[in-house]
Structure 1
């Protein structure tokens, strides 16, 4: 009984307020992607593109983001998207995550006016939501 009391006492020592956990690597990568995309400014639909992001446990992307930019930005976004996909795949494997397995199609992107000027946005999806989780 004495051993049990000591064990509980030591275990309870870890019950105090723990330091907040650092942000997950995938959240940081997604923040870097959003920062690289920025305002996605545009003048015409032809400038707008989509980027598939994430990885469902049963395959395919989780969502899409609209972006606008040049070839250098595209290379950077594709590199970051590959990193993010790998992080999400690792998380899915570690957590035995099961996705809804609904296919998320690329909705495409269009240039739309807004209060801060025109920017690329996803076309409204006919099926399941294609936009990123908030």
Structure 2
């Protein structure tokens, strides 16, 4: 089973530049409830270190690049995200970590739900237990 689920967005480009439009229920496979972005990231640190019980996300590198580690409790995969015309879908119950940020990285995350701390699993051992029972 592949944990890497990439979404190729329709890019409209000509000599003036490029445009990508994202709509909930179309390019984004859920209703959008929250959008946030990370920038001025240090390549010395990893981010993430959690999974969500219900929330779905699509991560897009608007500028630069970064790497992801994805883990479902049994399988692990890594990938580099480096195109603003491509998104990484992160489904519920997938542990994720982000690292190897380029100096110009701007990482946008589109989420299916509003922030809810109770949806987070921040302890890896707890995640493995819950994933085994899912």
TM superposition score category, shorter chain reference:
under 0.3
> RCO (CA 8 Å, sep 6+): is it higher in 1 or 2?
2
More strand by proportion, 1 or 2?
2
User: Quick check: which has more Rg, 1 or 2?
Assistant: 1
TM-score normalized by the length of structure 1: 0.23
More helix by proportion, 1 or 2?
1
TM-score normalized by the length of structure 2: 0.23
